[in-house]
Chain A
Amino acid sequence: SSELTQDPAVSVALGQTVRITCQGDSLRSYYASWYQQKPGQAPVLVIYGKNNRPSGIPDRFSGSSSGNTASLTITGAQAEDEADYYCNSRDSSGNHLGYVFGTGTKVTVL
Chain B
Amino acid sequence: EVQLVESGGGLVQPGGSLRLSCSASGFTFSSYAMHWVRQAPGKGLEYVSAISSNGGSTYYADSVKGRFTISRDNSKNTLYLQMSSLRAEDTAVYYCVKGLAATGYWGQGTLVTVSS
- A interface, CB within 8 angstroms of B: 1, 31, 33, 35, 37, 42-45, 48-49, 54, 84, 86, 88-91, 95-104
Min CB distance A26 to B, Å, is 12
Residues from 42 to 57 in B contacting A, C-beta threshold 8 Å? 44-47, 50-52, 57
Which residues on B sit within 8 Å (CB–CB) of A95? 57, 59
B44 in contact with A98 (CB, 8 Å): no
A96 to B44, CA, bound (A): 23
Pick from B37, B50, B61, B104: contact of A48, CB under 8 Å? B104
Min CB distance A4 to B, Å, is 10
Min CB distance A78 to B, Å, is 21
Which residues on B sit within 8 Å (CB–CB) of A101? 37, 44-47
Residues from 21 to 80 in B contacting A, C-beta threshold 8 Å? 33, 35, 37, 44-47, 50-52, 57-59, 61-62
A64 to B46, CA, bound (A): 23
A48 in contact with B57 (CB, 8 Å): no
Min CB distance B104 to A, Å, is 3
Q: Nearest 3 CB-CB pairs, A to B? A: A45-B104, A98-B59, A97-B59
Pick from A43, A90, A102: contact of B104, CB under 8 Å? A43
Pick from A43, A48, A104: contact of B101, CB under 8 Å? A48
B104 in contact with A33 (CB, 8 Å): yes
B101 in contact with A42 (CB, 8 Å): no
B101 in contact with A35 (CB, 8 Å): no
Residues from 72 to 116 in B contacting A, C-beta threshold 8 Å? 95, 100-104, 106-109
A88 to B99, CA, bound (A): 12
Question: Which of A43, A90, A97, A100 has its CB near the most chain B CB atoms (within 10 A)?
Answer: A97
A45 to B100, CA, bound (A): 8
